[in-house]
Each structure stands twice: as structure tokens, then as C-alpha cells.
Structure 1
């Protein structure tokens, strides 16, 4: 019996017990939200790539943050939308892949936010050496490591789960995460535990570094009106993004480990997906509205489009009069 139970090819996901009308409504709302995420992040990516004036470290890191948002959400939304219209099951390979994408995206966010904090630290606290230190080559290396390290860490985490004997196939979530696979294991997964603790310590170090950077920045900027203006203009969006993301992830982790089974299913679903709902939408809004260069570029783009449309209408109007 144990052999049969441990050979798992499909997992069932929970939390989608809705009526047909509720599923259709939730599908439409989720699709709309996902399109907003795609549009907001893709707009910032295109603006930063097209405008050469935005090819600076701060905006390059922001561009990667938006790319990572698209990468992470593609691991959840398409499958979730499909589950709302069909049976909520997922293959073993699909579960491993989904867990890897969501976990690695979360870690990439922390790595990129750490880079952004370091960039602001050098720009404000060491302005004389900023351009000589934050060269294109060094920024490229920073960006490369901000992707490679999280992907490697999460690959090792996921790889340590492969081949483990499982005594169940029901995942008490709307999507797959590695911790849920660990809870289904027939015996403790020592390799996965070791890798998980290493990753936790590694990214806790990121978090400490970010907090130290902002504390140092705030203390430095408060002594100068000019520096405080720079902080409010360029650091406040990063700080808001960091706070939103950190609170969302911490709430998810704490609820996953210590959440009560007595809470409603709707609340459980929200706690499970809120870090995939809120930060991907908040980031484009915060950076697009707060950072002057991006805001001006977006406003000028809308203005040019509006002017072109008016010109076309006037041309058609004049052409119509001449034809008469």
C-alpha cells in the first residue's frame, strides 16, 4: 500500500470549490487583474528600453524588477485561470515547475531590491565615486548575479525534492509550493531541509543589508535638505515597493507555517496569493508616478499620441470639406 501511495503522478489543489457562476466571475476578475499586471510592467520595461536617457543603473534595476514580476506571475495566473474553468489538478512535473518559478521569482525580487538599495546608497552617500563605480560592466555583473543566484538556489531546493516518497497527493493550496510537497513526504527530507535553511539565511542576509542601507540613507539624508529631497524622490518608491513586498511575503510564509485551519477558505486563498496580487500591480504604479523621468516620458508619450490623433481627425475633416 505504501508503494502505491508514494508513486504520485498528479496532485489535486484545494480552495476552488465554487459554483459555476462564481467561477466565471472570478475568472473574469482574475483575467482583468492579470492584464493590468502585464500592461503595467510591460509599459515600464518598454519605456526604459526605448529611452536612452533611462539607461542608468536605477532604471536598469527597475526594468529587471518588472521583468521578474512578469516571470513570477506567469507561474501562477495562466494555471489558476485554467483551473477555474476545469478540474483543479496538476502533474508532478508541473507542480515542481510551478513551485520553482514562484519561489525563484520571490528570491529574485529580494536580490533586485537589494541592488536598488545599494545603488541609492552609493548615489546619495558616495556621489563623487558613483559614476566611476557603477559602470555598465559592473551593473551587468550585478544584474546577472541577481538572476543566477536565486535561480540556482531554488533549483537546488526543487531538485532536493525530486524522487522523494510521498504519502499523499492533495495540496492544501490553489498552487504548488515546495513546502506543501515536504509535508506530503513519508519521511523527513534532510537534503531539502538543509538547502531550505541555507536559502533562508542567505536571503535573510539580503533583508538585513537592505534595512541597514535604508537606515544609513535616512540618517545621512536628514542632515541635508538637498539629500532629503533626493531620498524622497528616488528612494521612497523603492522603500514602498520593499515594504509592500516584504509584508506580503512574510504574511504568506507565516500563514503557510502557522495558519489556523478554522479560518475561511476565501481568507486562506487570499493569504496564499496576495504577494502575487498586490506587489506586481503596486510597483508599476509607484515607480511610474513617483520617478520624474519615467512619469515625464509616459506623459509625453500620451501627449504625442493624443496630438497625432487630433491631427488625423483635422486632416480627415479638411479633406472632407475639400471633397465637397
Structure 2
């Protein structure tokens, strides 16, 4: 995709989280810590799944992809955020459009990866005897391929419609990254098509993802409640607990962010809320999926013994 600039603006100024100079160093240290934990956690989980054959199952295949997306997702904008805390908050037009594309791509892809994980849990609990047939290597690959293709299509739609806009004089983005809604506020041409694209793409992602996950867990819950033993119900719930927490954090914080940023008067609140799903959630996912997971703990123990031997 050629980034053709039809605007007189060649660069943007990112306001960041705060314009107060005394807060720049504390914010830098905070985001640096979050970034380090995110990279180490997700890279560690990717390595652990790759090195241990016991984790080469559909469930961990999806988790591998989730960690990969979170890692890339964080690397798209966090280094730039850190740089902006200690230097000028400037990003080129091309850099901004590139950041927008990859941000949209990884966010949309993660939504559908979470849907695939919910479907995997549904098959494992509701039709366990058919699990190996239903969740074959081919099916898992197609689910992931579809997630990335849909994410790519959504990102192309957002970025392509943004490239047709003209940015005249105003180039101050009141955000810490190049997001759709803050950029639309700077356009000196009609944004009607962009708004339509935004609501269609985001609406489809949210509705399809949330409805699919809700139906999966409604069927899972119905099946679990029919399990006669308390131990069986507890074991079934434990396999879904981590994913439910991850889904609630990602979709909950994302929905709150977009609801607040849709209103100009609440842009500041939305900007701070977006920190949670753009920075905190990718950091927490490895902890959520590993702390309560016996398979991951066992694999980690074996790997450490192998390395330290």
C-alpha cells in the first residue's frame, strides 16, 4: 500500500498523556517497566510453547498466536511513546499512517483470536470425544489465517480511508498514538466516509466477536451445569477462567475507551482509559494464562531444569 500524502501536513505532534514536564520522567519509567514486562512475558510464553512438545495442542497454538500479537501490538507504539517522553513528540505523516495500520491490524486480529480460543474451549468441554477431529491442525490454521486476514482487511479499510483525507494546518494529535478518532478531528475535509467505515468495521468486529464468545460460553455453562460431580464442574470452569478474564479485560477496556473517545468532551478520559487495553492488557495476558495453568508451570519447570543442567 503506497502512503500517498494528499495533505499539506508532513508530520504530526503527539500531545501524549500529559503536557506537564514534571510528569514525563515518571511516565517514562512506568511505561518502560510495562514494556519490559510485556516483552519478557510474551516472548517467554512464545518460547516456552515452542520448546515443549507437551504444549503443542490447539489451546496453546492459539495462546502462542495471542502472545505473538500482544508482543507485536506493544512494539508498534510503545517505543515511540517512550521516545516522546524524553524528546520531541513528533511523528511523520508516513510513520503515523503506518502506526495506524498496524495498530488496527493487531487489535482486530486479537479479537478474532480470542473468538477462536472460545470456540476451542467450547469443543473441548461440550464435545470432548470429537475434539481431536474438530480441532485438527487444518482447522486451527484456518481459524488463525482467517483472524489475520480479517484484521488485515479492517486495517486496510481504516488506513485507506484515512489516506484520502486532507490535513491542512492543524497537526496536533491529542493522544499518545495515531488513532482513528483523534486523527479525524484534524481533517479539513469531510470525514463522513471515514466515520461510516469506522462504525461498520468496529461494529462488525465487536458484534461478531462478542456474540460468538457469548454463545460459546452460554453453551459451555449449560454443559458444565449438567456435570454431576463438583470436582468435574470445578475442573471445567478452571479451563475457561483465564480466557474469560482476558476477554473481559480486553473487550471491557476497549469498549469503554471507544465510548469515551466518541465524545469530544471525554477525549482526555478516553486517552487514559486506552492505556489499559493498549499497554496493560498485553502485559497481563501471559500472567493470566500461566499463573493458574498447571501445564505451563510444568513446562516452565522442565525447561528451567534443562537450561540449568
Q: TM-score, normalised by structure 2?
A: 0.90
Written as runs of structure 1 = structure 2, the 5 A alignment for 1:99-138 is: 99-138=100-139
Match of residue 17 from structure 1:
19
Match of 1:257 among 258, 262, 267: 262
Are residues 72 and 143 of structure 1, via their aligned partners in 2, closer, same or farther at CA, if it must alter by over 3 Å?
A: same
After the TM superposition, which residues 18-57 of structure 1 pair with which residues of structure 2 at under 5 Å, given as runs?
18-19=20-21, 22-57=23-58
Q: Deviations over 1:92-129 (max 9, x none)?
A: 11111112222222111110000000111111111121
Query: Equivalent of 1:170, from 163, 169, 172?
Result: 172
Q: Deviation per CA, 1:19-45, whole angstroms, max 9, x where unpaired?
A: 2x5423322222121010000011110
Bigger mean CA offset, 5-14 vs 98-107: 5-14
- 2:222 is matched with 219
Q: Equivalent residue for 2:199?
A: 197
| CA–CA separation in structure 1 for the residues paired with 2:25 and 2:191 | 40
- Distance apart, 1:6 and its partner CA: 5.0
| SS of alignment partner, residue 7 of structure 1 | coil
* 1:96 equivalent in structure 2: 97
CA–CA distance in 2 between the matches of 1:275 and 1:78? Answer: 16
List structure 1 segments (4+ residues) > 6 angstroms apart after TM superposition: none
Mapped to 2, the partners of 1:115 and 1:259 lie a distance apart of 35
Max Rg structure: 1
Hey, what's the Cα distance between the residues in 2 that align with 1:270 and 1:192? 24
Per the alignment, do residues 212 and 299 of structure 1 end up closer, same or farther by CA in structure 2, a change over 3 Å counting?
same
Q: Distance in 1 between matches of 2:185 and 2:23?
A: 30
CA distance in 1, matches of 2:12, 2:47: 38
Equivalent residue for 1:273? 275
| Partners of 1:173 and 1:272 within 8 A in 2 | no
- Deviation track 1:251-301 (CA, whole Å, cap 9, x = no partner) reads 21112113635x9x6x56422322122211221011111222111112333
Gaps spanning 5+ residues in structure 2: where?
A: 1-5
Residue pair 2:261, 2:270 contacting (<8 A) in 1 also: no
Counterpart of 2:241 (choices 236, 251, 255) is 236
Assess if the C-alpha contact under 8 Å between 2:118 and 2:243 holds in 1: yes
2:126, 2:220 within 8 Å by CA — same for their partners in 1? yes
Please, what is the CA RMSD of the aligned residues? Answer: 2.1
Shift of the alpha carbon at 1:305?
5.2
Q: For each residue in 1:183-232, what CA deviation from the matched residue of structure 2 results, as whole angstroms up to 9, or x when unmatched?
A: 22223334323322331232111211101111111121011036523422
Match of 1:207 among 210, 227, 246: 210
**Aligned partners of 1:119 and 1:18: how far apart in 2?**
47
Report the Cα distance in structure 2 between the residues aligned to 1:64 and 1:230, rounded to whole angstroms.
25
The farther-off stretch of 271-280 and 87-96 is 271-280
Three-state SS of the structure 2 residue aligned to 1:61 is helix
Task: Please name the residue that 1:322 is paired with.
Answer: none
Can you give the 5+ residue segments of structure 1 that lack an aligned partner in the other structure?
Answer: 309-324
Change (3 A) 1:191 1:270: closer
Cα distance in 1, alignment partners of residues 148 and 233 from structure 2: 31
Partner residue of 1:286?
Answer: 288
